[in-house]
Amino acid sequence: MEQVRVETEQWSEMQGMLDQVRVEMEELQSSRELWQHRAITSDIDMRSIQSQMLEWKQRAYASEHKVTELQKQMSELQIKLQSTTVELFHPSTSSTGTRSKTLNQDFHRIKHHQHRLLDSHREKGNMP
């Protein structure tokens, strides 16, 4: 009879330990799921940030390219202006009327080009 009681106590203790292990396993499982969820969320956030970074790099490259284009156009217009200034103050043998007409056409073409550039920048949100 004593042996049965001892075995029953041992069995009860083992059941208690098994219950405790089961509870700890459930806690570990919950903890693992929590950290797995956090890792997935962090991965998604990181990919989003990388995507935004790439987008901003592309915008910066496009802006740098546009600056280069505008600098080139500005240089071309400065050369044209210098040429026109030389023609204006040092007239050639051609008639004054023809020269005046050509200068007027050049002026209007340059003005039109400037307006197109400004409109283009306004459409892209680069200027107010």
Which amino acid would we find at residue 116?
R
pLDDT in tens, the chain (128 residues): 888 889 999 999 999 999 999 999 999 999 999 999 999 999 999 999 999 999 999 999 999 999 999 999 999 999 888 888 877 777 665 555 666 677 777 777 887 777 788 777 777 765 45
Two structure tokens written together for 55: 């987008």
For the whole prediction, is pTM greater than 0.75? no
State the sign of the Cα–Cα–Cα–Cα dihedral 115, 120, 122, 127: negative
Amino acid at 123: E
Q: Residue 125 — left, alpha, or beta (φ > 0 → left; ψ -120 to 50 → alpha)?
A: left
